[in-house]
Amino acid sequence: MTAARARAKADNMRAPGKHALAFVFLTVLIDTIGFGVIMPVMPQLITQLTGQTVAQAAPIAGFLLTTYAVLQFACGPIMGNLSDRFGRRPVLLASLAAFAFDYALMGFAPTIAWLFLGRAVAGIAGAVYSPAMAYIADVSTPEKRAQSFGIMGAAFGLGFIIGPALGGMLGELGPRAPFFAAAGLAALNFCYGLFVLPESLPLERRRKFDLKRANPLGTLTALKKYPAVMTIAGAVLLWQLAHQVYPSTWSFYAKIRFDWSEAAIGYSLAFVGVLMAFTQGYLTGKVVPRVGEYRAALIGVGSGVLSLLALSVATQGWQAYPAMLLGALQGLAYPSMNAIMSKQVPPNEQGELQGGVASMMSFTTIVGPLIMTQTLGRFSAPGAAIHFPGAAFALAAGLAAISFYLILRAGAPRPALSDAPNSATERT
């Protein structure tokens, strides 16, 4: 009997097995599918509820995304701390129940205010990643933990491929159909988890809930300790801000510029998901060892700049796909920049750095949708002084170009602090 199983038996708990890991995988997958499945139909549903044009509806969608992001940003640490106090199982199951309720609520929404309420509930429930990752850490051995986390990352990528494609197909049945489908998926996974998911955190390992420890901004101070990291961190911030143009405006831009159907929008988003999954899941491991993180970061960001510029000036639907192909290598950018920063920080402070990076990325999900949707709405509205529906993508290309410049300014990374003999001990 393994130590994990003996401990579980002592605590009158079933030892987590393959079904438990499958459940957590499905939880992350369904969360991502649920987010992506509604993207193709949001323009139609908002215009239906408000009576406004697609261009006027785009800023409203930005506020909806920001509502989701703010609640997820604030509640992620809270959900993680709650799972430390009450266990992973009740928090994960409560999140899935909330998802099922939320998507059903939005499916029946009679006014735009109900959509905002639904997005708020989704933001709280969507903070499930903290307890999900904690569950994986509980049940995985140290040597298998990275592999398990990688599987969860694959769930996110797979969900972004399946979600928009499924949403586009279901959107042909009406703008509310994808919401009910997402609600059904969450309800089925809740029932599955109710029977197969054991608790992974024994009573003696739990701690009291402390609101002071549930602070999403505290780790940002980590970046201030290492000036060498700050330039690359600025490049990451601008790069992630530029990438908010896709989830926040693509559905609206495709309708305004190309007059695409919900299905066509879903297929295009799935196409981008396939490109990103291929680059991050396969090419990164092949390219980075050959050219190094610095050159890989420049290649990735440069690819993104070209793609964003091409999308901003595309006038016909078929032109969008070659433009997206130009950005096939942009998946190299973030992993490479993160690796550069990581090599500048001693081993005993890696977690602190990654916490600061995560908080910075959450910030971009709050402000990015507002900036991009407002830009799209202003330049594509009827009677706009300058009619340029691609303005949001041009803005994103400009932000990505500045990110490219910052990487050039930083230059090739110097030897890592972890390579210095006393780098870690001098700071302790």
Structure tokens at 375: 């830009």
Tens-digit pLDDT string for the chain (428 aa): 454 444 444 443 455 555 677 777 777 777 777 777 777 888 888 888 888 887 788 788 878 877 887 887 777 667 767 777 787 788 888 888 888 888 888 889 888 889 899 888 877 776 566 667 667 666 766 445 444 554 665 677 677 778 877 888 888 888 888 888 888 888 888 888 888 777 777 776 776 766 665 555 555 555 566 666 788 888 989 998 998 898 888 888 998 899 988 788 878 887 887 887 777 767 777 787 888 888 889 999 999 999 999 999 998 989 999 999 999 898 888 878 877 777 776 654 554 455 556 667 778 888 888 899 889 888 988 877 888 989 999 999 999 999 999 999 887 766 554 444 444 333 33
Q: Cβ atoms within 10 A of the Cβ of 378, count? A: 17
* SS3 (DSSP) at 10: helix
Whether the Cβ atoms of residue 94 and residue 45 lie closer than 8 Å to each other: no
* Closest of 326, 350, 349, 327 to residue 338, by C-alpha: 350
Whether the Cβ atoms of residue 139 and residue 200 lie closer than 8 Å to each other: yes
Q: Supply φ then ψ for residue 110, to 5 degrees.
A: -90, -20
Opening angle at CA 150, ends 146 and 153, nearest 5: 140
Note the pLDDT of residue 57. 82
* SS3 (DSSP) at 384: coil
Q: What is the DSSP letter of 383?
A: T
Q: What is the DSSP letter of 332?
A: G
**How many angstroms separate the CA atoms of 327 and 332, rounded?**
10
**How many angstroms separate the CA atoms of 276 and 297, rounded?**
15
Whether the Cβ atoms of residue 320 and residue 254 lie closer than 8 Å to each other: yes
Q: Where in the chain are the domains?
A: 1-198+212-216, 218-412
Give the H/E segment covering residue 6.
helix 3-10
Q: Cβ atoms within 10 A of the Cβ of 32, count? A: 21
Mutual angle of helices 333-342 and 284-313, in 10-degree steps:
130
Mutual angle of helices 142-171 and 262-278, in 10-degree steps:
160
The reply to whether 1-198+212-216 and 218-412 are identical in fold is yes
383: left (phi over 0), alpha (psi -120 to 50) or beta: left
Q: Cβ atoms within 10 A of the Cβ of 48, count? A: 15
Note the pLDDT of residue 4. 47
Report CA-CA distances (Å) from 107 to 100, 176, 262, 325: 11, 5, 16, 34
Q: Cβ atoms within 10 A of the Cβ of 80, count? A: 21
* 261 burial type by CB count under 10 A (0-12 exposed, 13-18 middle, 19+ buried): middle
* Closest of 305, 100, 262, 294 to residue 192, by C-alpha: 100
Q: Which fold has domain 1-198+212-216?
A: Growth Hormone; Chain: A; (1.20.1250)
Q: Which residue has the tokens 């001098």?
A: 426
Q: Which residue has the tokens 């009450």?
A: 86
* SS3 (DSSP) at 216: coil
In 202-345, which ranges are continuous DSSP H helix? 227-243, 245-253, 262-278, 284-313, 317-326, 333-342
**Domain 218-412, CATH class in plain words:** mainly alpha
Note the pLDDT of residue 357. 66
Structure tokens at 384: 């706009």
Note the pLDDT of residue 215. 59
CA 174 to chain CA centroid, nearest Å? 26
The whole model's pTM is what? 0.64
